[in-house]
Structure 1
Amino acid sequence: MLPRLRHYVTAAVTYRRIGSLLASAPKTGLYAEQQRQRGLVRVEGDEAADFLQGLVTNDIRHLKGNTSAIYCLLLNRQGRILYDSIVYQPSHNTFLLECDAARASQLERHLRMHKVRRRLEVEDVTADLSVWCVFDPAPDKMQLTQLSAEALYMNPKVQNEVTLDLAGDFRDVTIVEDPRVQQLGHRLVVPAATQSLRELLLGVKENTTNHTFRSLRYRLGVGEGPEELPSAKSLPLEANCDYLHGVSFHKGCYVGQELTARTYHTGVIRKRLLPLVFSENASEVSPDASVVDERGRAVGKVRACLGCHGLGLLRVEECLGAEKLTVEGHVVQTFRPYWWPLQAPKSKASL
């Protein structure tokens, strides 16, 4: 029987809203959006924590019960990304691994393959549970398209507090802050039968698509899922896993750890996932289209596009220093996300 997901909350939860892009930008309020493209795999048993510790890039010991979550990756033996995940711990020996819904069954098989004789259960529970996010989308799309690339980013020094008013029965709900970037808001794991959060959250607008949150992710430069982090091809540090608090360099061995650790300690990460801001709608841009500088040199590739926003795996130094970037004739800009460290963690890093 699936364990009940409990999260005891007070009457209100303080939520840090995104700083305004411009003084004249309207206050859009908080949005609630079901993440239909995300699934969940449950791992339960006395040995579950030790089992996951040997498979994920982050340290499972950082979890503090059902009040927190961690971001992590699962790698192949060559150190390439197989799955990106947010891990929840609804009870002491129970963990929920959020992943791309289309690959949840594959993740279940992957975990079972490594289970061997450990005393634990692994089950795809995507049909039983769903993931929602609650976030501030910032100004609407029309206003965002009128801003310069630099203005598209929230000023991290300007933060206002708003209150996320909670109501209703939360006995079967887990609510945590998104562990990647503060401006991604909160994530909720609720029973799949939940069609609306209106009875749980007061004053929150609901979206019927995933486009608003996806656009926010692109503006922040955060990748997710196999389309943006191609399976068995992407590298953890190029996907900013270190900047997103998704990898521990002190926990010990895990599958794929050697290449990641060696690159971090001795190498230079020349390419990273960066936000793209197009001068016009670029939804028709081809997957893996080349990003070209003013000299005609390819300096990266597009990973995803939605309207005027997208993600690209780019050569950081070349792209940030370029006078002009284009993709299939579209003018595009990129810049360093504000949430990146002001200085790289190592003196040898190129950022």
Structure 2
Amino acid sequence: MLPLINSSRRLLRLSHLRGAHVAAHKLHAEPQNHRSLVRVEGTEASAFLQGLITNDMSHLEDGATSMYSMLLNTQGRVIFDTIVYKRNDESFLLECEQGRVNQLVRHLKMYKVRRKINIDAVDGDYRVWCVFEPDIDMKNISKVDMESLYLNPRAESEVALPLSGAVDDILVTRDPRMKYLGHRLVVPSMRNTLEDIVSGVQVGHGLFRVLRYRLGVGEGTAELPPTKSLPLEANCDYLHGVSFHKGCYIGQELTARTFHTGVVRKRYMPLIFLTDPPGPVANDSAITNEKGRVVGKVRGSDGRHGIALLRVEECLKAETLTVNNVPVQTFRPAWWPIEASKKVK
């Protein structure tokens, strides 16, 4: 197993400065068993990925340890959502859905041609964990907080965790999509828990998905159906996952045209069930307003929380919304940047 090159030591030093702040928060840790990793390494690895992903590899060259991105088909539709982790200047890990690792490897190798890179699955070597606060008060996300995050997103790329013990083999990074999703850790698979290295953490299951739903963040095949989802509808632009300044990449033309000249009328948004659904809510279930008009589709649900692809303006103006005769509500997430309102009218 190759060691991970990471910023754990610097994070440990920062934890002494912010220890009081960290201790005040209730942290949970969850293994992301539905997510796995593909390694791309070699002297041309960065240039290779630059031509395939929606984000700009220069962010990693400038010091970021991870970034959110998507891989699109030639029609500009999502085929993989990924978080790219930097191990060193010639080695990167791409996180993807566990059941689609081999598909991602084949997709990358299709474009390899004669580049001096190696592409292989390392899902047996590492596990992805997330450490987060599950009880974020969505209504109290302040404007100042939003401005600091979106005016200089990379300034918020790393924040200390109360780490202890042997952590040199662990890659630690702030979730690159937004800080409210906490941290992601790439950990050797032999470690079955984080309790020995993250002070005061509670290990659980299922709370992170609910947190994503409350924030309106989709992930994986079920929520981002391959070849059907558009990156801007999935809020890839709001989640720091697409660059509009880099060169060409597969699917770039439609994405750039929509951003610069089009209108993003539909976006992924949180869904709240006002009563308990009588049974599981199937993905693609229609969401209708008081006039019976279909204004969106469910993309995932867990109890009274869900995520849906909605017609933004119509849903925010609707008097009532229902799914399978169950009343639901939605709201514009507080973390959406201010300029969002200009794009949905």
TM-score (norm 2): 0.89
- The worse-fitting range, judged by mean Cα deviation, of 60-69 and 177-186 is 60-69
Instruction: Name the structure 1 match of 2:129.
Output: 132
2:311 to 312, 315, 318: 315
- Asked if residue 35 in structure 1 is aligned to residue 32 in structure 2, the reply is yes
1:341 deviates by 1.1
2:221 to 222, 226, 233: 226
State the match for 1:252 in structure 2: 247
**Do structure 1's residue 262 and structure 2's residue 248 form an aligned pair?**
no
Cα drift, residue 342 of structure 1: 1.5
Aligned partner of 1:89 among 75, 82, 86:
86
Structure 2 letter corresponding to 1:120: I
Match of 2:209 in 1: 214
Between the aligned partners of 2:160 and 2:36, the Cα distance in structure 1 is 28
Question: Which residue of structure 1 aligns with residue 48 of structure 2?
Answer: 51
Aligned mate of 2:344, from 324, 328, 350: 350
Report what 1:144 is aligned to: none
Asked whether the equivalents of residues 61 and 89 of structure 2 are also in contact (C-alpha less than 8 Å), the reply is no
Q: Map 1:269-288; keep pairs closer than 5 Å.
A: 269-282=264-277, 284-288=280-284
Q: CA deviation at 1:350?
A: 2.1
1:71 partner SS: strand
**Aligned equivalents of 1:131 and 1:232: distance in 2?**
25
Query: Which residue of the partner structure matches residue 116 of structure 1?
Result: 113
Residue deviations 1:62-81 (CA, integer Å, cap 9, x gap):
01588521000000111000
Q: 1:34 to 1:66 in 2, by over 3 A?
A: farther
Q: CA offset at residue 153 of structure 1?
A: 3.8
**Which residue, out of 167, 176, 199, partners 2:196?**
199
CA distance in 1, matches of 2:104, 2:20: 33
Give the letter aligned to residue 268 of structure 1. Answer: V
Q: Deviations over 1:283-307 (max 9, x none)?
A: 6112201000011111010000000
Deviations 1:105-147 (A, max 9, x none): 11011101110100000011011111001000007xxxxxxxx
* Closer, same or farther: CA 36–15 of 1 in aligned 2, 3 Å: farther
Q: TM-score under structure 1 normalisation?
A: 0.88
Amino acid at match of 1:34: P
Q: Secondary structure at the match of 1:83?
A: strand
CA distance in 2, matches of 1:343, 1:4: 38
Is contact 2:30–2:208 with CA below 8 Å preserved after alignment?
Answer: yes
1:2 corresponds in structure 2 to 2
Following superposition, the deviation at residue 102 of structure 1 comes to 0.7
Which amino acid counterpart does residue 82 of structure 2 have in structure 1?
S
| Residue aligning to 1:336 | 332
Match of 2:141 in 1: 155
Aligned counterparts of 1:180 and 1:248: Cα–Cα separation in 2:
13
Aligned CA distance change for structure 1 residues 134 and 338 (closer, same or farther; 3 Å): same
- 1:241 is the counterpart of 2:227: no
More helix by share: 2
Verify the 8 A CA contact 1:73 1:83 in the aligned structure 2: yes
Q: Which runs of 5+ in 1 are unaligned?
A: 19-26, 140-150
Preserved CA contact (<8 Å) 1:11 1:166:
no
Which piece of structure 1 moves more, 335-344 or 50-59?
A: 335-344
Identity value in percent: 53
Report deviation, 1:219: 0.1
For structure 2, list consecutive stretches of 5 or more residues without a partner in the other structure: 146-158
Distance 2:173 2:236 in 1: 19
Q: Aligned residues, how many?
A: 326
The structural deviation recorded for 1:178 is: 0.5
Separation in 2 of the partners of 1:129 and 1:214? Answer: 21
1:98 counterpart residue number: 95
Deviations 1:289-334 (A, max 9, x none): 1000011111010000000000100000000000100000111000
Which region of structure 1 is more displaced relative to structure 2, 162-171 or 43-52?
162-171
Tell me the C-alpha RMSD between the 2 structures: 2.2
CA offsets per residue over residues 186-208 of structure 1, 9 Å max, x none? 0000101110111111111111x
**Residue of structure 2 in register with 1:142 after alignment:** none
1 CA distance for matches of 2:133 and 2:88?
Answer: 29
Greater CA deviation, 326-335 or 283-292?
283-292
Matching residue's letter, 1:264: F
Select between 7-16 and 298-307 the one with higher mean Cα deviation: 7-16
Selected match of 1:71 from 68, 74, 96: 68
Q: Is the 8 A contact 1:7 1:172 kept in 2?
A: no
How far is the alpha carbon of 1:7 from its aligned partner?
Answer: 3.1
Opposite residue 28 of structure 2, the aligned amino acid is Y
- What is the CA-CA distance between 1:163 and the residue it aligns to? 6.8
Task: Tell me how far 1:235 sits from its aligned partner.
Answer: 0.3
Equivalent position amino acid for 2:165 in 1:
G
